[in-house]
Amino acid sequence: MFNPIVGISFGNVSSSIAIVKQDNKGTVEVIANQDGERTIPSALSYKGDDEYHGGQAIQQLVRNPKNTIINFRDFLSFNKFSEIDSQLIKDRTGSGNGCELVDIGDDKPGFILEQGKTKLSVIEVSARHLKNLKLAAEDYTGITLEKCTLTVPVDFNEAAKKNMAQAALKAGLQVVQFIAEPTAGLLSILESSQATSHSILVNKREQKDKNVVVADFGGFTSTVSVYSIRNNGILSSLHTEINHKLGGENMDDALIKFLAADFEKKTKTKCLNNIRSLAKLKINAILTKKTLSNVTNATVGIDSLADGLDLHTSINRLRYELVISKIVNEMASFVESTIAKTGLDILEIDAVVLLGGASFTPKLTVNLQDLFSDGECEIISLTSGNESQHPDEMISAGAAYQAALLEEDDTEALETLVEHAVSVPHLNQTIGLVNAEGAFEPIFEKNTPLPSRKSFKLYKQQKDFQLELYTGKVEIKETVEEPPAKEEKIEQDNKDDDESDWSDDEDDEPEVIREKVYAKQDKLLSFGGKGGKKGCELIFEISKDCGLKIVVRDLSNGEVTSKAQL
Protein backbone atom coordinates (compact mmCIF):
# COMPACT_ATOMS: atom_id res chain seq x y z
CA MET A 1 0.00 0.00 0.00
CA PHE A 2 1.29 3.43 -0.95
CA ASN A 3 2.28 5.45 2.14
CA PRO A 4 3.38 8.94 1.15
CA ILE A 5 5.82 11.19 2.99
CA VAL A 6 4.11 14.49 3.76
CA GLY A 7 5.71 17.94 3.87
CA ILE A 8 5.07 20.04 6.96
CA SER A 9 5.79 23.70 7.57
CA PHE A 10 5.68 24.39 11.33
CA GLY A 11 5.85 28.11 12.06
CA ASN A 12 5.48 30.27 15.15
CA VAL A 13 2.33 31.90 13.82
CA SER A 14 0.96 29.39 11.32
CA SER A 15 1.60 25.96 9.87
CA SER A 16 0.59 24.00 6.80
CA ILE A 17 0.84 20.45 5.50
CA ALA A 18 1.15 19.34 1.87
CA ILE A 19 1.39 16.22 -0.23
CA VAL A 20 2.29 15.51 -3.86
CA LYS A 21 -0.57 13.83 -5.67
CA GLN A 22 -0.04 10.52 -7.42
CA ASP A 23 -0.96 11.82 -10.86
CA ASN A 24 1.00 12.23 -14.04
CA LYS A 25 1.54 15.92 -13.32
CA GLY A 26 2.91 15.44 -9.81
CA THR A 27 0.90 18.39 -8.53
CA VAL A 28 1.12 19.41 -4.89
CA GLU A 29 -1.91 19.71 -2.64
CA VAL A 30 -1.84 21.91 0.46
CA ILE A 31 -4.30 20.20 2.79
CA ALA A 32 -7.05 22.03 4.69
CA ASN A 33 -8.13 21.05 8.22
CA GLN A 34 -11.72 20.34 9.21
CA ASP A 35 -12.42 24.09 9.36
CA GLY A 36 -11.22 24.65 5.80
CA GLU A 37 -7.96 26.32 6.90
CA ARG A 38 -4.97 25.60 4.67
CA THR A 39 -2.86 28.12 6.57
CA ILE A 40 -3.48 26.76 10.07
CA PRO A 41 -2.69 28.95 13.10
CA SER A 42 -0.09 27.31 15.37
CA ALA A 43 -2.34 27.47 18.41
CA LEU A 44 -3.93 25.21 21.01
CA SER A 45 -6.60 26.07 23.56
CA TYR A 46 -8.26 24.08 26.32
CA LYS A 47 -11.69 24.42 27.93
CA GLY A 48 -12.77 21.60 30.19
CA ASP A 49 -12.02 18.36 28.39
CA ASP A 50 -12.13 20.05 24.98
CA GLU A 51 -9.05 20.88 22.90
CA TYR A 52 -9.26 23.56 20.23
CA HIS A 53 -6.75 23.85 17.42
CA GLY A 54 -5.92 26.39 14.72
CA GLY A 55 -8.40 29.19 14.13
CA GLN A 56 -10.75 27.87 16.81
CA ALA A 57 -7.94 28.21 19.37
CA ILE A 58 -7.16 31.77 18.26
CA GLN A 59 -10.79 32.74 18.93
CA GLN A 60 -10.30 31.59 22.54
CA LEU A 61 -7.70 34.34 23.10
CA VAL A 62 -10.43 36.84 24.01
CA ARG A 63 -12.33 34.88 26.68
CA ASN A 64 -9.88 32.09 27.55
CA PRO A 65 -6.34 33.51 27.19
CA LYS A 66 -4.82 31.68 30.18
CA ASN A 67 -5.58 28.34 28.54
CA THR A 68 -4.59 29.32 24.99
CA ILE A 69 -1.05 28.63 23.78
CA ILE A 70 0.47 30.42 20.77
CA ASN A 71 3.90 31.38 19.40
CA PHE A 72 5.67 28.36 20.97
CA ARG A 73 7.75 26.93 18.09
CA ASP A 74 10.97 28.88 18.73
CA PHE A 75 11.13 27.70 22.35
CA LEU A 76 12.11 24.28 21.02
CA SER A 77 15.63 25.73 20.76
CA PHE A 78 15.98 25.61 24.56
CA ASN A 79 16.21 22.61 26.87
CA LYS A 80 16.34 24.81 29.98
CA PHE A 81 14.01 27.62 30.96
CA SER A 82 16.90 29.55 32.52
CA GLU A 83 18.57 29.78 29.08
CA ILE A 84 15.69 31.77 27.54
CA ASP A 85 15.90 35.55 27.36
CA SER A 86 13.07 37.20 29.28
CA GLN A 87 12.41 39.60 26.40
CA LEU A 88 11.84 36.67 24.04
CA ILE A 89 9.28 35.24 26.47
CA LYS A 90 7.55 38.63 26.72
CA ASP A 91 7.49 39.10 22.94
CA ARG A 92 6.06 35.64 22.25
CA THR A 93 3.77 34.93 25.21
CA GLY A 94 3.50 38.25 27.01
CA SER A 95 0.43 40.39 27.60
CA GLY A 96 -2.33 39.59 25.12
CA ASN A 97 -0.42 36.61 23.71
CA GLY A 98 -2.11 33.83 25.61
CA CYS A 99 -0.63 31.48 28.18
CA GLU A 100 2.82 32.59 29.31
CA LEU A 101 5.88 30.37 29.05
CA VAL A 102 7.10 29.40 32.53
CA ASP A 103 9.39 26.94 34.34
CA ILE A 104 7.17 23.87 34.84
CA GLY A 105 9.75 22.17 37.06
CA ASP A 106 13.37 21.01 36.80
CA ASP A 107 14.15 24.11 34.72
CA LYS A 108 11.97 22.81 31.88
CA PRO A 109 10.18 25.39 29.68
CA GLY A 110 6.46 24.88 29.25
CA PHE A 111 2.97 26.09 30.02
CA ILE A 112 0.67 25.69 33.03
CA LEU A 113 -3.01 25.72 32.12
CA GLU A 114 -5.22 27.67 34.51
CA GLN A 115 -7.88 24.97 34.76
CA GLY A 116 -6.72 21.77 36.36
CA LYS A 117 -3.18 23.18 36.68
CA THR A 118 -2.06 20.92 33.83
CA LYS A 119 1.62 21.25 32.93
CA LEU A 120 2.66 20.92 29.28
CA SER A 121 6.27 21.08 28.06
CA VAL A 122 7.07 22.87 24.81
CA ILE A 123 7.79 19.48 23.24
CA GLU A 124 4.39 18.16 24.33
CA VAL A 125 2.58 21.23 22.98
CA SER A 126 4.46 20.88 19.69
CA ALA A 127 3.56 17.18 19.54
CA ARG A 128 -0.12 17.94 20.02
CA HIS A 129 0.01 20.58 17.29
CA LEU A 130 1.76 18.21 14.87
CA LYS A 131 -0.73 15.47 15.71
CA ASN A 132 -3.61 17.77 14.71
CA LEU A 133 -1.87 18.50 11.40
CA LYS A 134 -1.31 14.78 10.88
CA LEU A 135 -4.98 14.00 11.55
CA ALA A 136 -6.08 16.65 9.05
CA ALA A 137 -3.84 15.06 6.39
CA GLU A 138 -5.06 11.57 7.21
CA ASP A 139 -8.69 12.68 6.93
CA TYR A 140 -7.89 14.02 3.47
CA THR A 141 -5.83 11.07 2.19
CA GLY A 142 -7.57 8.24 4.01
CA ILE A 143 -4.11 6.85 4.80
CA THR A 144 -2.31 6.50 8.13
CA LEU A 145 0.76 8.71 7.69
CA GLU A 146 4.07 7.71 9.23
CA LYS A 147 6.82 9.91 7.75
CA CYS A 148 7.36 13.59 7.01
CA THR A 149 9.85 16.17 5.83
CA LEU A 150 9.81 19.09 8.24
CA THR A 151 10.91 22.64 7.53
CA VAL A 152 13.00 24.58 10.04
CA PRO A 153 14.41 28.11 10.28
CA VAL A 154 17.90 28.57 8.89
CA ASP A 155 19.32 29.22 12.37
CA PHE A 156 17.58 26.33 14.16
CA ASN A 157 20.23 24.68 16.34
CA GLU A 158 20.78 20.96 16.92
CA ALA A 159 18.81 21.02 20.17
CA ALA A 160 15.82 22.50 18.36
CA LYS A 161 15.94 19.87 15.61
CA LYS A 162 16.27 17.08 18.18
CA ASN A 163 13.31 18.42 20.17
CA MET A 164 11.24 18.87 17.02
CA ALA A 165 11.99 15.32 15.92
CA GLN A 166 11.00 14.10 19.39
CA ALA A 167 7.72 16.05 19.19
CA ALA A 168 7.03 14.56 15.76
CA LEU A 169 7.61 11.01 17.10
CA LYS A 170 5.16 11.67 19.92
CA ALA A 171 2.67 12.73 17.22
CA GLY A 172 3.28 9.48 15.32
CA LEU A 173 5.56 10.89 12.60
CA GLN A 174 9.15 10.06 11.73
CA VAL A 175 11.11 13.02 10.43
CA VAL A 176 13.08 11.71 7.45
CA GLN A 177 14.64 15.03 6.59
CA PHE A 178 14.81 18.60 7.84
CA ILE A 179 14.84 21.28 5.16
CA ALA A 180 15.53 25.00 5.60
CA GLU A 181 12.43 27.15 5.11
CA PRO A 182 13.86 29.40 2.35
CA THR A 183 15.15 26.36 0.45
CA ALA A 184 11.73 24.71 0.67
CA GLY A 185 10.06 27.87 -0.62
CA LEU A 186 12.42 28.01 -3.59
CA LEU A 187 11.83 24.32 -4.32
CA SER A 188 8.10 25.01 -4.51
CA ILE A 189 8.89 27.26 -7.48
CA LEU A 190 11.59 25.18 -9.15
CA GLU A 191 9.75 21.85 -8.91
CA SER A 192 6.23 23.06 -9.66
CA SER A 193 4.78 21.72 -12.90
CA GLN A 194 2.23 24.54 -12.90
CA ALA A 195 4.53 27.55 -12.53
CA THR A 196 6.12 27.42 -15.98
CA SER A 197 5.78 31.17 -16.50
CA HIS A 198 8.58 32.00 -14.07
CA SER A 199 11.75 33.18 -15.75
CA ILE A 200 13.98 31.11 -13.47
CA LEU A 201 12.17 27.97 -14.60
CA VAL A 202 12.44 28.80 -18.31
CA ASN A 203 16.11 29.63 -17.98
CA LYS A 204 16.70 26.54 -15.90
CA ARG A 205 15.66 24.46 -18.91
CA GLU A 206 17.94 26.58 -21.06
CA GLN A 207 20.75 25.89 -18.57
CA LYS A 208 21.41 29.54 -17.79
CA ASP A 209 23.11 30.64 -14.57
CA LYS A 210 20.87 32.56 -12.19
CA ASN A 211 21.05 34.36 -8.86
CA VAL A 212 17.82 34.22 -6.87
CA VAL A 213 16.81 35.92 -3.63
CA VAL A 214 14.34 34.20 -1.31
CA ALA A 215 12.78 36.68 1.13
CA ASP A 216 10.77 35.00 3.87
CA PHE A 217 8.83 37.55 5.93
CA GLY A 218 7.21 35.55 8.71
CA GLY A 219 5.33 36.58 11.81
CA PHE A 220 8.27 37.42 14.08
CA THR A 221 11.33 36.83 11.90
CA SER A 222 12.49 37.85 8.44
CA THR A 223 15.04 35.74 6.57
CA VAL A 224 16.65 36.74 3.29
CA SER A 225 18.79 34.18 1.46
CA VAL A 226 20.69 34.58 -1.81
CA TYR A 227 21.02 31.43 -3.91
CA SER A 228 22.97 30.59 -7.02
CA ILE A 229 21.33 28.28 -9.56
CA ARG A 230 23.86 26.92 -12.03
CA ASN A 231 23.49 24.85 -15.19
CA ASN A 232 24.63 21.65 -13.51
CA GLY A 233 21.48 21.73 -11.38
CA ILE A 234 23.15 22.60 -8.10
CA LEU A 235 21.23 24.99 -5.89
CA SER A 236 23.51 26.58 -3.29
CA SER A 237 23.14 29.31 -0.70
CA LEU A 238 25.55 32.23 -1.04
CA HIS A 239 24.50 34.21 2.01
CA THR A 240 21.68 34.43 4.54
CA GLU A 241 20.67 37.26 6.88
CA ILE A 242 18.12 36.91 9.69
CA ASN A 243 16.26 39.68 11.52
CA HIS A 244 14.35 38.43 14.57
CA LYS A 245 12.67 41.79 15.14
CA LEU A 246 11.08 42.27 11.74
CA GLY A 247 7.94 40.56 10.48
CA GLY A 248 4.18 40.51 10.27
CA GLU A 249 3.82 41.10 14.01
CA ASN A 250 5.25 44.58 13.45
CA MET A 251 2.47 45.26 10.97
CA ASP A 252 -0.12 43.95 13.43
CA ASP A 253 1.25 46.14 16.22
CA ALA A 254 1.23 49.24 14.01
CA LEU A 255 -2.37 48.57 13.00
CA ILE A 256 -3.38 47.88 16.62
CA LYS A 257 -1.99 51.26 17.67
CA PHE A 258 -3.82 52.95 14.80
CA LEU A 259 -7.16 51.34 15.71
CA ALA A 260 -6.63 52.06 19.41
CA ALA A 261 -5.87 55.72 18.68
CA ASP A 262 -9.02 55.92 16.56
CA PHE A 263 -11.09 54.40 19.39
CA GLU A 264 -9.58 56.66 22.06
CA LYS A 265 -10.15 59.74 19.90
CA LYS A 266 -13.84 58.89 19.46
CA THR A 267 -14.60 57.64 22.97
CA LYS A 268 -11.93 59.26 25.19
CA THR A 269 -11.38 55.74 26.59
CA LYS A 270 -8.07 53.90 26.74
CA CYS A 271 -8.00 50.29 25.54
CA LEU A 272 -4.34 49.22 25.35
CA ASN A 273 -4.05 48.54 29.09
CA ASN A 274 -6.60 45.72 29.02
CA ILE A 275 -5.64 42.16 28.05
CA ARG A 276 -9.05 41.30 26.62
CA SER A 277 -9.13 44.53 24.59
CA LEU A 278 -5.65 43.75 23.23
CA ALA A 279 -6.76 40.27 22.21
CA LYS A 280 -9.78 41.70 20.35
CA LEU A 281 -7.60 44.29 18.63
CA LYS A 282 -5.05 41.60 17.69
CA ILE A 283 -7.63 39.31 16.07
CA ASN A 284 -9.21 42.18 14.13
CA ALA A 285 -5.83 43.63 13.08
CA ILE A 286 -4.86 40.27 11.54
CA LEU A 287 -8.21 40.03 9.75
CA THR A 288 -7.96 43.62 8.49
CA LYS A 289 -4.39 43.08 7.26
CA LYS A 290 -5.46 40.04 5.25
CA THR A 291 -8.53 41.85 3.89
CA LEU A 292 -6.53 44.87 2.69
CA SER A 293 -4.11 42.55 0.89
CA ASN A 294 -7.01 41.45 -1.30
CA VAL A 295 -9.28 44.52 -1.54
CA THR A 296 -8.84 48.26 -1.14
CA ASN A 297 -11.22 48.87 1.80
CA ALA A 298 -11.94 47.13 5.09
CA THR A 299 -14.50 47.68 7.84
CA VAL A 300 -13.51 47.06 11.46
CA GLY A 301 -16.20 46.30 14.01
CA ILE A 302 -15.35 45.33 17.61
CA ASP A 303 -18.14 45.02 20.13
CA SER A 304 -17.41 46.16 23.67
CA LEU A 305 -13.75 46.93 23.08
CA ALA A 306 -13.38 48.74 26.42
CA ASP A 307 -15.81 49.88 29.13
CA GLY A 308 -18.73 48.51 27.10
CA LEU A 309 -17.93 50.83 24.17
CA ASP A 310 -17.76 49.56 20.58
CA LEU A 311 -15.28 50.35 17.82
CA HIS A 312 -16.74 50.76 14.35
CA THR A 313 -14.48 52.27 11.71
CA SER A 314 -13.11 51.71 8.23
CA ILE A 315 -9.67 51.89 6.72
CA ASN A 316 -8.57 51.88 3.09
CA ARG A 317 -5.41 50.36 1.67
CA LEU A 318 -3.70 53.73 1.19
CA ARG A 319 -4.14 54.61 4.87
CA TYR A 320 -2.97 51.13 5.89
CA GLU A 321 0.13 51.43 3.71
CA LEU A 322 0.94 54.73 5.42
CA VAL A 323 0.56 53.06 8.81
CA ILE A 324 3.01 50.25 7.90
CA SER A 325 5.24 52.25 5.52
CA LYS A 326 8.24 52.26 7.87
CA ILE A 327 8.05 48.47 8.27
CA VAL A 328 7.67 47.79 4.53
CA ASN A 329 10.57 50.13 3.74
CA GLU A 330 12.70 48.30 6.30
CA MET A 331 11.83 44.97 4.65
CA ALA A 332 12.87 46.23 1.21
CA SER A 333 16.08 47.68 2.67
CA PHE A 334 16.77 44.33 4.36
CA VAL A 335 16.65 42.61 0.95
CA GLU A 336 18.95 45.24 -0.56
CA SER A 337 21.52 45.06 2.26
CA THR A 338 21.62 41.24 2.17
CA ILE A 339 22.37 41.29 -1.56
CA ALA A 340 25.14 43.82 -0.97
CA LYS A 341 26.80 41.48 1.56
CA THR A 342 27.16 38.81 -1.12
CA GLY A 343 29.19 41.23 -3.26
CA LEU A 344 26.47 41.21 -5.94
CA ASP A 345 24.77 44.22 -7.46
CA ILE A 346 20.98 44.23 -7.66
CA LEU A 347 21.37 44.06 -11.46
CA GLU A 348 22.87 40.59 -10.99
CA ILE A 349 19.72 39.28 -9.30
CA ASP A 350 17.36 37.47 -11.67
CA ALA A 351 14.40 36.83 -9.35
CA VAL A 352 13.10 37.53 -5.86
CA VAL A 353 10.75 34.93 -4.35
CA LEU A 354 8.51 36.25 -1.57
CA LEU A 355 7.46 33.87 1.22
CA GLY A 356 5.65 34.20 4.51
CA GLY A 357 2.35 35.81 5.42
CA ALA A 358 3.83 39.31 5.79
CA SER A 359 4.94 39.21 2.14
CA PHE A 360 1.27 39.08 1.11
CA THR A 361 1.30 42.89 1.18
CA PRO A 362 0.95 44.65 -2.19
CA LYS A 363 3.07 47.61 -1.08
CA LEU A 364 6.06 45.35 -0.37
CA THR A 365 5.93 43.96 -3.91
CA VAL A 366 5.68 47.49 -5.31
CA ASN A 367 8.69 48.66 -3.28
CA LEU A 368 10.79 45.72 -4.48
CA GLN A 369 9.75 46.29 -8.08
CA ASP A 370 10.96 49.89 -7.72
CA LEU A 371 14.22 48.68 -6.14
CA PHE A 372 14.94 46.33 -9.06
CA SER A 373 13.48 48.55 -11.79
CA ASP A 374 16.85 49.04 -13.52
CA GLY A 375 17.27 45.36 -14.30
CA GLU A 376 15.19 42.43 -15.49
CA CYS A 377 14.56 40.93 -12.06
CA GLU A 378 11.23 39.14 -11.61
CA ILE A 379 9.40 39.59 -8.29
CA ILE A 380 7.63 36.26 -7.76
CA SER A 381 4.67 36.72 -5.44
CA LEU A 382 0.93 36.23 -5.24
CA THR A 383 0.32 39.98 -5.29
CA SER A 384 2.37 40.51 -8.45
CA GLY A 385 0.13 38.01 -10.26
CA ASN A 386 2.84 35.53 -11.34
CA GLU A 387 2.40 33.00 -8.53
CA SER A 388 -0.78 31.14 -7.62
CA GLN A 389 0.42 29.62 -4.35
CA HIS A 390 -0.19 31.64 -1.18
CA PRO A 391 3.15 32.66 0.41
CA ASP A 392 2.16 30.95 3.67
CA GLU A 393 1.75 27.64 1.81
CA MET A 394 4.81 27.66 -0.45
CA ILE A 395 7.16 26.35 2.25
CA SER A 396 5.08 23.23 2.98
CA ALA A 397 4.64 22.74 -0.79
CA GLY A 398 8.43 22.71 -1.20
CA ALA A 399 8.73 20.23 1.66
CA ALA A 400 6.18 18.02 -0.12
CA TYR A 401 8.19 18.09 -3.35
CA GLN A 402 11.29 17.10 -1.40
CA ALA A 403 9.29 14.32 0.27
CA ALA A 404 8.21 13.00 -3.12
CA LEU A 405 11.86 12.73 -4.17
CA LEU A 406 12.64 10.67 -1.06
CA GLU A 407 9.73 8.23 -1.27
CA GLU A 408 11.63 5.75 -3.45
CA ASP A 409 14.51 5.43 -0.99
CA ASP A 410 14.66 2.87 1.81
CA THR A 411 14.40 3.88 5.45
CA GLU A 412 18.08 3.37 6.22
CA ALA A 413 19.10 5.71 3.41
CA LEU A 414 16.55 8.31 4.53
CA GLU A 415 17.86 8.36 8.07
CA THR A 416 21.30 9.35 6.84
CA LEU A 417 19.82 12.48 5.28
CA VAL A 418 18.24 13.87 8.44
CA GLU A 419 21.19 15.72 9.92
CA HIS A 420 23.58 16.04 6.99
CA ALA A 421 23.99 18.84 4.48
CA VAL A 422 26.45 19.12 1.62
CA SER A 423 28.82 22.10 1.70
CA VAL A 424 30.72 22.81 -1.51
CA PRO A 425 33.29 25.45 -2.47
CA HIS A 426 32.33 28.18 -4.92
CA LEU A 427 34.23 29.84 -7.75
CA ASN A 428 35.32 33.27 -6.56
CA GLN A 429 35.57 34.86 -9.99
CA THR A 430 34.04 34.57 -13.45
CA ILE A 431 35.92 32.59 -16.12
CA GLY A 432 35.22 33.05 -19.79
CA LEU A 433 36.66 33.59 -23.25
CA VAL A 434 37.04 36.47 -25.66
CA ASN A 435 34.98 36.16 -28.83
CA ALA A 436 35.85 37.28 -32.34
CA GLU A 437 34.56 40.80 -31.60
CA GLY A 438 36.85 41.09 -28.58
CA ALA A 439 33.98 40.92 -26.06
CA PHE A 440 34.20 38.78 -22.91
CA GLU A 441 31.74 35.88 -22.74
CA PRO A 442 31.38 34.04 -19.41
CA ILE A 443 31.60 30.27 -19.24
CA PHE A 444 31.59 29.81 -15.47
CA GLU A 445 29.91 32.56 -13.48
CA LYS A 446 31.22 33.69 -10.13
CA ASN A 447 29.72 31.65 -7.25
CA THR A 448 29.43 28.50 -9.37
CA PRO A 449 29.55 25.46 -7.01
CA LEU A 450 32.62 23.28 -7.55
CA PRO A 451 33.36 20.93 -9.20
CA SER A 452 31.56 22.04 -12.35
CA ARG A 453 31.42 21.11 -16.02
CA LYS A 454 30.12 22.79 -19.17
CA SER A 455 30.11 21.62 -22.76
CA PHE A 456 29.30 23.29 -26.07
CA LYS A 457 28.70 21.57 -29.41
CA LEU A 458 30.07 23.52 -32.37
CA TYR A 459 28.51 21.78 -35.38
CA LYS A 460 30.08 24.12 -37.95
CA GLN A 461 33.58 24.13 -36.47
CA GLN A 462 35.58 22.04 -38.99
CA LYS A 463 38.72 24.13 -39.02
CA ASP A 464 41.33 24.48 -36.29
CA PHE A 465 40.68 27.36 -33.90
CA GLN A 466 42.33 29.40 -31.16
CA LEU A 467 40.78 30.31 -27.80
CA GLU A 468 41.91 32.69 -25.08
CA LEU A 469 40.56 32.22 -21.55
CA TYR A 470 40.41 35.09 -19.08
CA THR A 471 39.09 35.79 -15.64
CA GLY A 472 36.38 38.40 -15.72
CA LYS A 473 34.12 40.49 -13.56
CA VAL A 474 30.77 42.18 -13.71
CA GLU A 475 30.83 45.95 -13.98
CA ILE A 476 27.86 48.28 -13.67
CA LYS A 477 27.92 50.76 -16.50
CA GLU A 478 26.09 54.03 -15.89
CA THR A 479 24.95 56.16 -18.78
CA VAL A 480 23.45 59.59 -18.28
CA GLU A 481 20.69 60.24 -20.77
CA GLU A 482 19.94 63.92 -21.10
CA PRO A 483 16.29 64.94 -21.52
CA PRO A 484 15.26 66.12 -24.99
CA ALA A 485 15.56 69.82 -25.67
CA LYS A 486 12.34 71.76 -25.14
CA GLU A 487 10.62 72.99 -28.21
CA GLU A 488 10.35 76.73 -28.55
CA LYS A 489 7.06 77.94 -27.33
CA ILE A 490 4.82 79.51 -29.91
CA GLU A 491 3.29 82.68 -28.69
CA GLN A 492 -0.45 82.75 -28.83
CA ASP A 493 -2.70 85.69 -29.42
CA ASN A 494 -4.92 86.92 -26.59
CA LYS A 495 -2.82 85.14 -23.96
CA ASP A 496 -3.46 86.28 -20.39
CA ASP A 497 -0.54 88.08 -18.80
CA ASP A 498 -0.79 86.07 -15.57
CA GLU A 499 -0.89 82.68 -17.27
CA SER A 500 2.19 80.55 -16.59
CA ASP A 501 3.58 77.33 -17.98
CA TRP A 502 4.50 74.88 -15.20
CA SER A 503 7.05 73.10 -17.37
CA ASP A 504 9.05 76.33 -17.71
CA ASP A 505 9.68 76.46 -13.95
CA GLU A 506 11.16 72.99 -13.62
CA ASP A 507 14.06 71.44 -15.52
CA ASP A 508 13.75 67.77 -16.43
CA GLU A 509 16.27 65.65 -14.54
CA PRO A 510 18.70 63.58 -16.64
CA GLU A 511 18.06 59.84 -16.43
CA VAL A 512 20.84 57.55 -15.22
CA ILE A 513 20.67 54.17 -16.95
CA ARG A 514 22.50 51.30 -15.22
CA GLU A 515 23.38 48.08 -17.05
CA LYS A 516 25.43 44.99 -16.31
CA VAL A 517 28.48 44.40 -18.52
CA TYR A 518 31.38 41.94 -18.38
CA ALA A 519 35.00 43.04 -18.39
CA LYS A 520 37.98 40.73 -18.93
CA GLN A 521 40.77 40.75 -16.38
CA ASP A 522 43.70 38.33 -16.21
CA LYS A 523 44.62 35.98 -19.03
CA LEU A 524 44.61 32.33 -17.99
CA LEU A 525 45.77 30.54 -21.14
CA SER A 526 45.71 30.37 -24.91
CA PHE A 527 44.41 27.15 -26.37
CA GLY A 528 44.50 25.65 -29.84
CA GLY A 529 41.72 23.23 -30.75
CA LYS A 530 41.07 21.02 -33.74
CA GLY A 531 37.79 20.97 -35.62
CA GLY A 532 36.03 17.83 -36.80
CA LYS A 533 34.29 16.64 -39.94
CA LYS A 534 30.89 17.13 -38.27
CA GLY A 535 32.07 19.79 -35.86
CA CYS A 536 33.40 19.37 -32.36
CA GLU A 537 32.40 19.41 -28.73
CA LEU A 538 34.20 21.83 -26.43
CA ILE A 539 34.26 20.71 -22.76
CA PHE A 540 35.34 22.84 -19.80
CA GLU A 541 35.83 21.29 -16.35
CA ILE A 542 36.79 22.90 -13.02
CA SER A 543 37.78 20.70 -10.08
CA LYS A 544 37.15 21.36 -6.38
CA ASP A 545 40.58 22.97 -6.05
CA CYS A 546 39.92 25.20 -9.09
CA GLY A 547 41.99 23.17 -11.54
CA LEU A 548 40.83 23.95 -15.10
CA LYS A 549 40.71 21.36 -17.88
CA ILE A 550 39.69 21.84 -21.53
CA VAL A 551 38.89 18.93 -23.85
CA VAL A 552 37.90 18.95 -27.55
CA ARG A 553 36.09 15.93 -29.02
CA ASP A 554 35.36 15.18 -32.65
CA LEU A 555 31.58 14.89 -33.05
CA SER A 556 31.94 12.37 -35.85
CA ASN A 557 33.72 9.69 -33.79
CA GLY A 558 33.86 11.02 -30.19
CA GLU A 559 37.67 10.97 -30.12
CA VAL A 560 39.61 13.56 -28.13
CA THR A 561 41.51 15.71 -30.59
CA SER A 562 43.12 18.18 -28.21
CA LYS A 563 43.19 19.11 -24.55
CA ALA A 564 44.80 21.52 -22.11
CA GLN A 565 45.05 21.85 -18.34
CA LEU A 566 45.74 24.68 -15.90
Q: What does the pLDDT look like over 204-220, one tens digit per residue? A: 445 577 899 999 999 99
Tens-place pLDDT, residues 302-349: 999 999 999 999 999 999 999 999 999 999 999 999 999 998 999 999
27-36, 186-195, 255-264, 411-420: segment of lowest average pLDDT: 411-420
Using an 8 Å Cβ cutoff, are 125 and 44 in contact?
Answer: yes
The whole-number pLDDT of residue 438 equals 83
Tens digits of per-residue pLDDT, 415-442? 444 333 445 678 888 999 988 788 898 9
Q: Which residue has the higher pLDDT, 408 or 84?
A: 84
In this prediction, residue 99 has a pLDDT band, given cuts at 50, 70 and 90, of very high
Identify the residue with better confidence: 49 or 262: 262
What confidence tens digit (pLDDT) does each residue in 8-29 have?
A: 999 999 999 999 887 656 688 9
Output the pTM of the full model: 0.84
The identity of residue 59, as a single letter, is: Q
Picking from 514, 515, 529, 428, the residue whose alpha carbon sits closest to that of residue 472 is: 428
Among residues 147, 146, 165, the alpha carbon closest in space to that of 76 is found at 165
Residue 192 pLDDT class (50, 70, 90 cuts): low
The residues, ordered by sequence, that sit 6+ positions from 214 with a Cβ below 8 Å of its Cβ are 182, 183, 185, 186, 224, 225, 226, 227, 352, 353, 355
What value does the mean pLDDT of the chain take?
86
pLDDT for 420: 33
pLDDT, one tens digit per residue, over 276-298 is: 999 999 999 999 999 998 899 99
Q: What percent of the chain has pLDDT over 90?
A: 55
Residue 199: pLDDT above 80?
no
% residues pLDDT > 70 (the chain): 86
Average pLDDT over residues 27-35: 91
The 10s digit of each residue's pLDDT in 373-411 is 887 898 998 877 666 778 889 999 999 988 888 875 555
DSSP classification of residue 523 = E
pLDDT of residue 217: 95
Q: Give the mean model confidence (pLDDT) for residues 150-176.
A: 95
For 484-494, write each residue's pLDDT tens digit. Answer: 665 544 444 45
Quote the distance between the C-alpha of residue 143 and its chain's center: 31
pLDDT in the model for residue 408: 59
Sequence-distant (6+) residues with CB within 8 A of 188 are: 28, 389, 394, 395, 397, 398, 401
Mean pLDDT of all residues in 43-58: 94
Q: Band of the pLDDT at 32, cuts 50, 70, 90? A: very high
Query: Cα separation of 425 and 447, whole Å?
Result: 9
